[in-house]
Amino acid sequence: MTSFIGELLGTAILIILGCGVNAGGALNKTFSQGGGWLMGAIGGGLAVMVAIYCVGEISGAHINPAVTIGLAIAGEFDWAEVPAYIAGQMIGAFIGATIVFFQYLPHWKETEDPATKLGVFSTSSAVNSTPGNLISEVIGTTVLLLCLLAIGANSFADGLNPLIVGMLVTSIGISLGGTTGYAINPARDLGPRIAHAVLPIAGKGNSNWRYAWIPIIGPITGGALGAFIYILLW
């Protein structure tokens, strides 16, 4: 139960700060509107870093089903604990997205474009190409898992590891994220997408469920692939 709470809290923090920077950059009449892709990528990396610092000692701060599954494949995590971790991550993601909704409450009706509002919560494709979009998510999450495992094999000064992981996620966002918004985390996309679907967001459109499977299957596949590559090479 302690690990479940840790994953719930950590993922909620990840989404509050990660989707929060999306909202600040996208919604009308915020002081940070138009901050651009670099602001979002840095904010996303910092969100990961902060979440790991907060709950790393509680649950290991997977905060991502693809990470949990990948670590289990690599033999670094007990398969019996996977369902509880994923449940905590999904619930935390939904809670975090709901908090972002309330944080930016007056700005939803000030923003006309439904796609912009959905983009605060969930990812989408820059170019509509199902194979290309899926491949992008697979590659991004393969890099994430492979590098996480490789980084974990190094020795750092106490407290430095979360900073390195945050920098890794920032790097992925800047280098690989421009195609699909780099979900690289099924909970990060699905939890907020469900929140978008059920929350009373002024002027929202549909939640683009036709796309929703890509940031689930792509990251899980990429996480497994990254773990297998690590097993082969290290």
Q: Is the pLDDT of residue 41 over 80?
A: yes
pTM over 0.85: yes
Q: Is the pLDDT of residue 33 over 90?
A: yes
Q: Is the pLDDT of residue 217 over 90?
A: yes
Q: pLDDT tens digits, residue range 166-214?
A: 999 999 999 999 999 999 999 999 999 999 999 999 999 999 999 999 9
Q: What is the 3-class SS of 17-61, one letter each residue?
A: HHHHHHHHHHCCCCCCCCCHHHHHHHHHHHHHHHHHHHHHHHHCC
For position 14, what pLDDT does the model report?
Answer: 98
Q: Is the pLDDT of residue 31 over 80?
A: yes
Rg of the chain (C-alpha set): 17
The boundaries of the domain holding residue 199 are 2-233
Q: What total number of domains does the chain contain?
A: 1
C-alpha 59/C-alpha 108 separation (Å) is 34
Is residue 30 within 8 Å of residue 114, measured between CB atoms? no
Is residue 122 within 8 Å of residue 208, measured between CB atoms? yes
Q: Which amino acid is at 211?
A: Y
For position 112, what pLDDT does the model report?
Answer: 96
Confidence band of 62 (pLDDT split at 50, 70, 90): very high
**CATH number of residue 192's parent domain:** 1.20.1080.10
Q: pLDDT tens digits, residue range 102-151?
A: 999 999 999 999 999 999 999 999 999 999 999 999 999 999 999 999 98
Q: Which tokens go with 62?
A: 């997977």
What angle (nearest 5°) sits at the alpha carbon of residue 59, between those of residues 124 and 76? 85
For position 152, what pLDDT does the model report?
Answer: 81
What angle (nearest 5°) sits at the alpha carbon of residue 124, between those of residues 179 and 211? 120
